[in-house]
Amino acid sequence: MTLTAEENERLTRVGKGTPMGELLRRYWYPISVARELTAENPVKFVRLLGEDLVLFRDKSGRVGLLADHCSHRGASLLYGRVEERGIACAYHGWLYDTAGHCLETPAEPPDSNLHLTIRHIAYPVKELVGLLWAYLGPLPAPVIPRYDVWSRPDGVLRLAVYPRLDANWLQVMENTADPTHAQILHQEFVAGGRPVPSTTRGFVDRIAGLEYSEAPFGLVKLRRFANGRVERHPLIFPNILRESNVAQIRVPMDDTHTNFFFIHFIPLDDGPLNDGADPEAPEDDEVLYIDPFKEPVEGIHPFTRFRLNSVLSQDHMAWETQGLIANRTVERLATSDQCVVMFREMLMREIDKVQRGLDPIAVIRDPHHEIIDTYVGESIESKGWYTPRQYAQQETHRGAAARGDVRYD
């Protein structure tokens, strides 16, 4: 399924009014670690789906997400003064609440009702698992789905924030639909210290078979290894990889930049899942912020250089060196790209559903729905689990190492 230029545009552009932008606006996205909004720093700039926004917590504790440019004359609300009722533009004091109502226009005559005619762009925000999530789509908003990796009651959650990617979100998600690259791109980590027999083939010969299927939440990749082990990697539609005990949430900032929030589910039972774990890990609730993967940080390929000493830095290299937006009109797809094609076809299908006024896949409206099983327990049993620091450093959890399991194989 090599794409035409028009199809590539359709799948990559995320702005308001674009086909993909309207599909992506049917879902919630994490936009900040909640604790980043403090009394000393209650305002933060956010870019999401091509929109410039300001996130803030007012002095009453309410969180709002407003369009960055004031409705008066366009000054940035990033420099606004947070008050009990909302945020006041630093330029002329126009005061907005979290719903975008204009409460005051101080320079107007005392009897003016101008503020009653102003409705600033505002979006819903929810706090969940230590993150602030935003929804930019039509109301009523759906719920944030209760996926097992962040909803199971038998564990604790830990967060990591990864460096911004200077490339389109689809390059990241097509990688999620590509189960063979790990055996080659990440071959030294797959090896687990053993010699690599062929740097060309890596460990791709360990894969005995691949199967792909749709699920109510997205796609499931099933890998069968020559040693008999079976592993499932879900792609949670539209922007999440659930790998091991981790949800990697990829957030499209705009057409050419992507943010990353990782949620780790750490089991707390006394059985084999926790065997050999660091007993201090569940109590360590520090958010891990990962250093940039390239130098200079603001450089774009080929005017920057990626370090390749971790799985994620290797991935970032592969994604970003395809270009800000990959040119899919010149690619040569192969048999191993079957799931990439499935994902593209799913995106096209779900765009069409939204254009017909229907909810796309994985939009949940029942707030009391059951926890959605993405096989996180199965993955943990197969490979062990990882704290954010272990995951970032490719340190295999000791319980998994004792069984001879290695990440990414």
Domain ranges of the chain: 29-135, 148-402
Q: Check if the beta carbon of residue 94 is closer than 8 Å to that of residue 88.
A: yes
Name the residue type at position 103. L
* DSSP helix/strand/coil, 204: helix
The model's pTM: 0.92
* Average pLDDT score, the chain: 91
What pLDDT score does 78 carry? 98
Confidence band for 2, pLDDT divided at 50, 70 and 90: confident
Helix residue ranges per DSSP H, 243-337: 311-320
Which of the two residues, 389 and 383, has the higher pLDDT score? 389
- In CATH terms, 29-135 corresponds, of 2.102.10.10, 2.130.10.10, 3.30.9.10, 3.40.50.1970, to 2.102.10.10
Q: Which pLDDT value is given to residue 90?
A: 98
Percent of the chain with pLDDT over 70: 92
Q: List pLDDT tens digits, range 320-352.
A: 999 999 999 999 999 999 999 999 999 999 999
C-beta separation of 122 from 136 below 8 A: no
Q: 148-402 adopts what CATH topology?
A: Naphthalene 1,2-dioxygenase Alpha Subunit; Chain A, domain 1 (3.90.380)
Tell me the pLDDT tens digit for each residue of 265-305. 999 864 434 444 444 444 467 899 999 999 999 999 999 99
* For residues 353-358, average pLDDT: 98
Report how far Cα 33 is from the mean position of its chain's Cα atoms: 13
Predicted pLDDT of residue 394: 66
DSSP state of 208: E
Structure tokens at 365: 């409206």
Whether 116 has a pLDDT exceeding 50, the answer reads yes
Confidence of residue 404 (pLDDT cuts 50, 70, 90): very low
The predicted structure's pLDDT at residue 384: 84
Q: 189: pLDDT confidence band, cut at 50, 70 and 90?
A: confident
Strands (E), 87-225: 87-88, 95-96, 102-104, 122-123, 125-128, 131-135, 155-165, 207-215, 218-225
Mean pLDDT of 372-378: 96
Query: What does the pLDDT read at residue 191?
Result: 74
**What confidence score (pLDDT) does residue 400 get?**
37
